[in-house]
Amino acid sequence: MADVPVPLPGPGQALLRVRAAALGFPDLLMTEGKYQHRPDLPFIPGNDIAGEIVALEGDAGGFAPGDAVVATLGTGGFADYAVCPLAALRRKPGAMTFEAAAAFGVAYLTAYVGLVRCGALQPEEWLLVHGAAGGVGLAAVDLGKALGARVIAASASDEKLAIIAREYQPDATINVTDGFRERVKELTGGGADVIYDPVGGDIFDESTRCIAFGGRLLVIGFASGRIATVPTNIPLIKGFSVVGVRAGEYGRRHPERGEENFDAIWALAEAGRLKPHVHAALPLTQWREAFEMMRSRKVVGRVVVKPGKYTRDHLPIRLSRASAPAKRRA
């Protein structure tokens, strides 16, 4: 923990008071230098945040100081204050707490791009979700049910599967510890139409043996640590596709569709049809415990860190670029 200057918003930016910041697997990988994006050291982790607008620079686009918002930063979220582009702001769904809203954005956007844009998931199709207890996995279970699919939640933990079954009501759960392909074939009558795989490794290998003809195997990540390969005769014979999913890159390459993706998940959230799961909400001072929960795979959904409560009224006085900067903990 350190005290660093409160960042000043530049043109087209907003300064946010961070109320909650969700820890995702990419944050953990980034701190270990294992993620595709490697920010220069030192950096402040934290991608998904929810908070309140303190100050704006430029066209506010209908936002004002005091508004409760959600933003995706890349880095910088595990701090009392953070700056983000105005274009990255979304209003916090009214029924969601700050903690749930922080856990929502990236996980559900990844699920939407995977299931809808890349997987073309249809109502009544069978969806197999691996790593179903993780942030992006649980979002896929939740979204899959909202889209009318028949969902199989897969994990290596009976305890986690019991929580998923109780709170999200998938059509079936499978413990993958001793294999899963025969059980998937039995449940689906031949194979899953869409397989959502953030795990990779052995899970990917076995998934190629229980996917339906014409199925879509979605590559979300490699939480197992091993990047799998597939002999091309297997997708040829079984007629399935292997599709890579990068939600952020999809939005950058297709900006209009990227906005449509955000609008779609926000509409479902506002309607109360999606419910991100917050495993634990810890003060920012316990960030080490939060990272250890993620590292040891103890989390169902997301862990959230909550910065301390600075008083809001001192900030406008300290935001002048000519004066000594205010401090924030990070």
pTM of the model: 0.87
Query: How far is it, in rounded angstroms, from Cα 213 to Cα 210?
Result: 10
314 falls in which pLDDT band (50, 70, 90)?
A: very low
* Type and span of the H or E element at 196: strand 192-197
The tens digit of pLDDT for each residue in 35-79 reads: 777 888 888 999 899 999 999 887 777 899 999 999 988 889 999
Q: What share of the chain is helix, strand, coil (3-state, %, to 5)?
A: 35, 25, 40
pLDDT reported for residue 52: 96
198 falls in which pLDDT band (50, 70, 90)?
A: very high
Does residue 227 contact residue 34 with C-beta atoms inside 8 Å?
no
Sign of CA dihedral 222, 305, 251, 239: positive
Q: Give the least confident one: 25-34, 266-275, 294-303.
A: 25-34
Higher pLDDT, 317 or 118: 118
pLDDT reported for residue 27: 86
318 has pLDDT over 70: no
319 falls in which pLDDT band (50, 70, 90)?
A: very low
Mean pLDDT over each residue of the chain, to the nearest integer: 90
**Please, what are the domains in the chain?**
3-104+276-329 (3.90.180.10), 106-249 (3.40.50.720)
Q: Give the least confident one: 23-32, 169-178, 317-326.
A: 317-326
Q: Give the least confident one: 287-296, 300-309, 314-323.
A: 314-323
Does residue 132 contact residue 138 with C-beta atoms inside 8 Å?
yes
> Helices 105-112 and 135-146 meet at what angle, rounded to 10?
60
The tens digit of pLDDT for each residue in 136-164 reads: 999 999 999 999 999 999 999 999 999 99
The tens digit of pLDDT for each residue in 250-296 reads: 989 999 999 999 999 999 998 999 999 999 999 999 999 999 998 88
Does residue 51 contact residue 18 with C-beta atoms inside 8 Å?
yes
299 falls in which pLDDT band (50, 70, 90)?
A: confident
327 falls in which pLDDT band (50, 70, 90)?
A: low
320 has pLDDT over 90: no
| Backbone phi and psi for residue 196, each to the nearest 5 degrees, phi listed first | -105, 110
pLDDT reported for residue 300: 92
Closest C-alpha to 107, from 133, 82, 76: 133
